């Protein structure tokens, strides 16, 4: 009962978080809302008059709705490109970012479902599609498979996101049993949603343009290009709008880290630390002794660099007195991500994972530090409380590092090369054989019987894809600006390639050789914009809820007391509170 | 922890800078925004006021064709008759014809005889209550240059002074009632299926209008009601069947069904009856003495797009 109530409180606070933000947030949400309503209005017209208000015909019976649907299934599937490196290859940089990918998947699937719904001639009969209630043609129809895998994928991702956020909200480490199995099911499931969507087309023997075994691999390659590209852009937006101090506030010339000479640490130093870190008091004498092996205490003057972002060292530091600023490089600028006070811990990620430093630590005033080698920190963590304390300290940070973005870059890079290669395979098969089955491809690339509508589209896509590929291969795209341009080009190129380049030409010419072209109408496009706005709105709101919870600003610890609701003003104050470090100290350490 | 009460309101809250007033202003603002969004949503949905004859509670809740009991079917047929009468001012006679035992239909089309006059197209439209605006036709006649079977060389919209034209032959295409129908396989809700007499039928009250069958058909035989069909009252054929020629609604598929309302009552399809050249032959393939059985035995018969494996019941043949 209490668990239910606690979960409901979490939900209600999360939902109310969606209404908290600054003027930029309201402007953005308001603008998206307006576009949504325009789309809704256009859809109301379509509902009344039928699909005649679209550019579709009996000849070209699917259009931009299904094209967008196909593209977005790929975006949803691409969330695994964050999950696989983290859970299969243990990439620590991306671990915190998985949830952004999964929330994007949720938003993308919602858009997919919306696009399929607006494409239906009889949306009022949606219940015919419900297994058990309607008359579900499973496993015969690939579309029924799609209904199963898409809704399953939605539930899977909603569950994983909600569980991770709720654990974070409660200040617990997520229990592996409740979540890792679903993550691995999700990986397979993600591949399945795009494979099934490809099979929608591949399974049609009467459409030689689609009836090609390479479509599913091509779909996956293009999805794993466009999806992570979209995530790269989205993460930078998240990073910018969640920044809690002005960029460029600090600039430090590159000097070696300078700690000066330390002295050997003793038990009395642990006692000093225990004043600020009550959990340490309960640690057994034995462990205390052991962890002091190799431990040193440093008195550091103001402005000194203790650790440097990107360095590979494995010491960790507890603050005995004074303040330390954690600063990260983001693109061209620097940002203070945390301010640590006595009792605070830093350097533990590098110590425990061997990964390069995630931030630069600079002293703010004279500081006394206790330095523990990695091995000593591990010994200390044999104590259960210290273990969860260190772990939660690690988990409590939403670090969108440049390195994480560059890891995604290499995924986009490889996928794009494979995508272009597979496209080349397709093009070779269509044109070298010169069979009559190449009619659609001929129409797409060069025009057929005097019809040319798709040529500018596909050549734009090819130029975009090739340019993006070259940019991604060259080292210049290690600069975020270039990487962003490459990502935009890749997204545009793949959207065209899968939409106007795959769905539409499959219908032209018709199986009876008739040439009828397709151009979307204004009403049709308004509906598409409406759905895209709806999806962006969903993603925005989901992030609005998730980020403060991930950063520990909203947690069980700052609930207003049993049965009480905190006012919106209080929520706002929590979200806007500068320092996540405060929440760190107060919630995790007590 | 931050105390929200200590936050100062903006300077323009001059009338009373106290927190209470700030909260009032904020809740007033919020109410205004909520009301405006609500109004905007209602305005966005305004076109729905024009919606009429879209569906009824009975139609919405109606079960799948194969699950209807005879009593329920009787009710459904009465509902359809009422609806047609209301819309067209004419009481139709709607029946649910079942396949006959021991009958499997086959269609044979003599390409030597077809003159491309399109009388079949018109007879079909009249018989099957097809929409006149926009035009929906089940039969497409291809004008093919002699010497090729490549449909890409076909002319669809030919309109000469007189037919046949020298140097061309004519190939009418309509639903081939495949033995292995891709359209049936892909339908996600089993709104289309193959009946025992070989006719592939559609339950217009069950179809969700996803048009997957239309994409799957290798013969381009399926048609979609992109908008509500319109038929002049005086042209309405009042002899209707549930799976056949009753007027369709917006948003559902339709196609040739070998004139179920005629053929399941022992008559020829309209296109067979009207053909002035005797190019169209129709009958029961299970009857060894039927005309179609003889044609399949004796003539040089072929099917369209044999390579897609659909096993059509619609055969073309040459006489000479």
What is the rounded distance in angstroms from the CA atom of residue A274 to the CA atom of residue A428?
Answer: 70
Per-residue pLDDT of chain A (590 residues; tens, 9 = 90+): 788 888 888 888 888 888 888 888 899 999 999 999 999 999 999 999 999 999 999 999 999 999 999 999 999 998 887 888 887 777 766 777 888 899 999 999 999 999 999 999 999 999 999 888 889 998 999 999 999 999 999 999 999 999 989 988 887 878 888 888 998 899 999 999 999 999 999 999 999 999 999 999 999 999 999 999 999 998 888 877 765 433 333 334 444 466 777 888 888 888 888 888 888 888 888 888 888 888 889 988 888 888 888 777 778 899 999 988 888 776 667 777 778 888 888 888 777 766 677 788 888 888 999 998 888 888 888 888 887 777 666 655 556 777 788 889 999 999 999 999 999 999 999 999 988 889 999 999 999 999 999 999 999 999 999 999 999 999 999 888 999 999 999 999 999 998 889 999 999 999 999 999 999 999 999 999 999 999 999 999 999 899 888 877 788 877 776 556 666 777 777 776 543 333 333 333 32
**Residues of chain A found within 8 Å of residue B145, distances taken between Cβ atoms:** none
Q: Is the peptide bond before B115 cis (omega within 30 degrees of 0)?
A: no
Token output for A274 = 């225990």
Q: Which of residues 106-165 of A touch B (CB under 8 A)?
A: 116, 119-126, 128-129, 134-137, 140-144, 147
pLDDT the model gives residue B204: 97
For chain B, list residues with pLDDT below 50.
Answer: 1-19
CB proximity A417 to B under 8 Å: no
Contact B214 A141 (CB under 8 A): no
Contact B219 A50 (CB under 8 A): no
Nearest chain A CA: its distance from B282 CA (Å)? 23
Tell me if the domain spanning B120-258 has CATH number 3.40.50.620: no
Contact A206 B225 (CB under 8 A): no
Contact of A572 with B1, CB cutoff 8 Å: no
Contact of A555 with A580, CB cutoff 8 Å: no
Contact B208 A126 (CB under 8 A): yes
Contact A48 B48 (CB under 8 A): yes
Contact A573 B156 (CB under 8 A): no
Residue B231 backbone zone (phi > 0: left; psi -120 to 50: alpha; other: beta): beta
Handedness of CA A576, A308, A293, A353 (dihedral sign): positive
Q: What is the pLDDT of residues B11-27, one digit of tens each?
A: 333 444 444 555 677 78
Is residue A559 classed as helix, strand or coil in its secondary structure?
A: coil
Contact A137 B189 (CB under 8 A): yes
The residues facing B107 across adjacent strands are B282, B314
C-alpha pair distances (Å), A149 with each of A291, A509, B210, B311: 50, 31, 18, 31
CB proximity A62 to B under 8 Å: yes
The residues facing A305 across adjacent strands are A362
pLDDT the model gives residue B70: 96
Q: Out of A49, A123, A436, whose CB is closest to B227?
A: A49
Contact A567 B4 (CB under 8 A): yes
> Taking the domains of chain A in order of start, what are their residue ranges?
204-242+398-515, 263-395
Contact B60 A124 (CB under 8 A): yes
**Residues of chain B found within 8 Å of residue A514, distances taken between Cβ atoms:** 154, 156, 220
Ranges of H-type helices in A519-562: 522-550
Place of tokens 């899977």: A156
Token output for A221 = 């390659």
Rounded to two decimals, what is the model's pTM?
A: 0.85
CB proximity A22 to B under 8 Å: no
Q: Out of A45, A206, A514, whose CB is closest to B217?
A: A206
pLDDT the model gives residue A244: 45
pLDDT the model gives residue B16: 43
Superfamily (CATH) of domain A263-395: Jelly Rolls (2.60.120.10)
Contact A136 B189 (CB under 8 A): yes
Task: Tell me which DSSP letter residue A564 carries.
Answer: P
pLDDT the model gives residue A214: 94
Q: Out of A122, A140, A200, whose CB is closest to B209?
A: A122
**Residues of chain A found within 8 Å of residue B255, distances taken between Cβ atoms:** none
DSSP string, chain B: ---GGGSPPPTT--S--SHHHHHHHHHHHHHHHHHHHHHHHHHHTGGGGG--SS--HHHHHPPPGGG--HHHHHHHHHHHHHHHHHHHSS--EEE-PPPPTT--EEEEEETTT-----HHHHHHHHHTT--TTTT--S-EEEEEETT---GGG-BSS---SSSPPTTEEEEEE-----SS-HHHHH-TT--EEE-TTS-EEE-TTT-----HHHHH-TT---EE-SS-----GGG---EEETTTTSPP-TT-EE---S-HHHHTTT---HHHHH-TT--EEEEETTSTTSHHHHHHHHSEEE-TTGGG----SEEEEE--
Token output for A119 = 């494409």
Token output for A257 = 């880290």
């Amino acid at each position: 009962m209490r668990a239910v109530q606690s979960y409901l409180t979490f939900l209600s606070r999360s939902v109310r978080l969606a209404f908290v933000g600054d003027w930029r947030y309201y402007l953005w949400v308001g603008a998206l809302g307006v576009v949504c309503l325009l789309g809704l209005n256009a859809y109301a017209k379509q509902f009344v008059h039928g699909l005649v208000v679209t550019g579709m015909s009996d000849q070209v019976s699917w259009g931009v709705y299904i094209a967008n649907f196909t593209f977005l299934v790929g975006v949803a599937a691409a969330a695994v490109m964050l999950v696989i490196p983290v859970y299969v290859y243990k990439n620590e940089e991306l671990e915190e970012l998985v949830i952004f990918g999964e929330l994007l998947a949720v938003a993308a699937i919602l858009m997919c479902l919306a696009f399929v719904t607006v494409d239906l001639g009889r949306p009022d009969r949606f219940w015919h599609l419900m297994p058990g209630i309607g008359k579900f043609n499973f496993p015969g129809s690939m579309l029924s498979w799609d209904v199963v895998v898409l809704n399953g994928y939605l539930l899977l991702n909603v569950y994983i996101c909600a569980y991770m956020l709720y654990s974070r909200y409660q200040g617990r480490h997520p229990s592996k049993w409740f979540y890792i199995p679903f993550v691995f099911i999700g990986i397979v499931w993600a591949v399945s949603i795009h494979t099934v969507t490809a099979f929608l087309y591949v399974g049609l023997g009467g459409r030689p343009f689609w009836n090609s075994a390479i479509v599913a691999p091509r779909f996956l390659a293009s999805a794993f290009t466009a999806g992570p590209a979209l995530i790269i852009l989205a993460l930078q937006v998240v990073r910018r709008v969640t920044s809690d101090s002005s960029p460029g506030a600090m600039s430090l010339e590159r000097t070696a880290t300078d700690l000066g000479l330390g002295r050997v640490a003793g038990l009395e130093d642990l006692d000093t630390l225990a004043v600020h870190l009550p959990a340490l008091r309960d640690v057994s004498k034995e462990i205390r002794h052991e962890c002091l092996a190799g431990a040193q205490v440093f008195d550091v003057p103001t402005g000194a660099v203790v650790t440097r972002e990107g360095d590979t060292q494995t010491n960790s530091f507890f603050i005995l007195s004074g303040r330390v600023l954690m600063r990260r490089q983001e693109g061209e600028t620097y940002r203070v991500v945390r301010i640590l006070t006595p009792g605070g811990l830093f350097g533990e990620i590098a110590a425990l994972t061997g990964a390069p430093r995630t931030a630069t630590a600079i002293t703010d005033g004279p500081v006394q530090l206790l330095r523990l080698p990695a091995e000593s920190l591990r010994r200390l963590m044999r104590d259960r409380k210290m273990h969860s304390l260190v772990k939660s300290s690690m988990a409590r940070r939403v670090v969108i590092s440049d390195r994480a973005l560059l890891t995604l870059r290499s995924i986009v890079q490889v996928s794009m090369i494979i995508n272009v290669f597979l496209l080349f395979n397709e093009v070779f098969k269509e044109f070298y054989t010169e069979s009559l089955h190449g009619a659609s491809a001929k129409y797409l690339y060069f025009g057929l019987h005097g019809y040319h509508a798709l040529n500018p589209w596909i050549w734009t896509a090819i130029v975009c894809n090739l340019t993006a590929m070259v940019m991604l291969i060259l080292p210049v795209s290690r600069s975020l600006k270039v990487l962003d341009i490459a990502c935009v080009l890749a997204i545009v190129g793949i959207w065209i390639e899968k939409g106007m380049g795959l769905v539409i030409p499959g219908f032209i010419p018709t199986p009876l050789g008739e040439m009828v072209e397709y151009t979307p109408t204004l009403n049709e496009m308004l509906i598409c914009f409406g759905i895209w706005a709806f999806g962006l709105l969903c993603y925005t709101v989901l992030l609005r809820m998730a980020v403060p919870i991930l950063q520990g600003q909203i947690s069980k610890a700052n609930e207003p007391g049993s049965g009480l609701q905190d006012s919106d003003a209080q929520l706002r104050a929590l979200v806007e509170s500068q320092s996540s470090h405060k929440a760190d100290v107060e919630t995790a350490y007590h | 922890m931050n105390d929200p009460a200590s936050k100062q309101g903006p300077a323009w809250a001059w009338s009373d800078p106290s927190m209470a007033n700030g909260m009032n202003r904020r809740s007033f603002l919020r109410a205004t925004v909520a009301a405006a969004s609500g109004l905007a949503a209602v305005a966005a949905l305004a076109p729905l006021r024009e919606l009429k004859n879209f569906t009824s509670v009975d139609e919405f809740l109606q079960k799948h064709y194969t699950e209807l009991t005879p009593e329920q079917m009787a009710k459904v047929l009465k509902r359809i008759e009422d609806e047609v009468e209301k819309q067209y001012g004419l009481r139709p006679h709607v029946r649910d014809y079942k396949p006959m035992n021991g009958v499997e239909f086959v269609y044979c089309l003599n390409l030597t005889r077809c003159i491309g006059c399109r009388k079949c197209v018109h007879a079909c439209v009249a018989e099957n209550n097809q929409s006149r605006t926009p035009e929906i036709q089940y039969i497409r006649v291809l004008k093919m240059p002699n010497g090729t079977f490549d449909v890409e060389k076909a002319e669809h919209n030919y309109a000469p002074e007189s037919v046949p034209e020298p140097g061309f032959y004519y190939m009418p295409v309509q639903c081939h009632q495949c033995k292995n129908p891709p359209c049936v396989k892909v339908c996600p809700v089993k709104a289309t299926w193959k009946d025992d007499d070989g006719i592939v039928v559609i339950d217009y009250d069950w179809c969700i209008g996803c048009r997957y069958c239309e994409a799957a058909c290798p013969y381009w035989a399926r048609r979609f009601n992109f908008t509500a069909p319109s038929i002049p009252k005086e042209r309405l054929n009042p002899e209707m069947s549930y799976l056949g020629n009753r007027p369709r609604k917006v948003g559902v598929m339709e196609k040739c069904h070998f004139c179920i309302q005629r053929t399941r009552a022992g008559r020829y399809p309209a296109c067979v009856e009207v053909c002035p050249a005797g190019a169209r032959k129709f009958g029961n393939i299970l009857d060894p003495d039927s005309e179609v059985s003889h044609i399949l035995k004796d003539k040089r018969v072929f099917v369209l797009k044999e390579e897609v494996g659909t096993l059509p019941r619609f055969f073309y043949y040459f006489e000479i």
